Amino acid sequence: MLINYTLSITVNKHQMNTNPINLTVRFILEILMLVVLGLWGWHLSAGWLRFVAAAGFPVIAATLWGVFRIQNDPKPAPVEIPGVLRLLLELGLFAWSVWALYDLGYQQLGITMAIIVILHYLASYDRTWVMLQNKPYKGFVQ
């Protein structure tokens, strides 16, 4: 039993992006990004525009996130883009939410989120490096 477990760790150590803990952190960051953008839209506007911004900003972010993908992402790419552009898109959306936190007066939370995003991309070095080289990521392919 121990030998099988050791072998599976050895085989999977080069695919940190698919590590369950890393995937959970990524999911939480994505949800937090959408919540922050909705909250920022709510506080940015007044009247009926408040509802449009609170719903619109997260919808825009989620649409960009879901439509523009790299080859071999877990789901098919509606619009396939080079890895560098996808990396810039992801970092741009996270930067938008960090800036929104800062603008809302939550500077410490914004700094914390920025640090967690950076650590996540460092932990996902296999995917990040492949995206920087504009190669298809094969970590999700079974």
pLDDT tens by residue, 88-130: 999 999 999 999 999 999 999 999 999 999 999 999 888 888 8
Q: Please check the confidence at residue 20 and state whether its pLDDT lies above 80.
A: yes
Tokens 């922050």 sit at which residue? 36
pLDDT at 4: 45
CA dist 111 and 99 (Å) reads: 9
In a domain, 8, yes or no: no
Query: Beta-carbon neighbour count of residue 26 at 10 Å?
Result: 19
Domain of residue 54, residue span? 19-132
Sign of CA dihedral 81, 97, 110, 38: negative
Q: Which residue is listed with tokens 């959306």?
A: 93
Position 6 in a domain:
no
Signed CA dihedral, 35, 115, 60, 103: sign only: positive
pLDDT band of 12, cuts 50, 70, 90 = very low
Asked, for residue 138, whether it belongs to a domain, the answer is no
pLDDT of residue 138: 67
pLDDT at 41: 96
User: What is the structure's pLDDT at 134?
Assistant: 78
> What is the residue whose two structure tokens read 């492949």?
130
Report whether pLDDT(11) > 70.
no
Per the domain annotation, does 137 fall within a domain? no
State the total domains in the chain.
Answer: 1
Let me know if residue 10 belongs to a domain: no
11 is a domain residue: no
Whether 27 maps to a domain, the answer reads: yes
Tokens found for residue 71: 């080859």
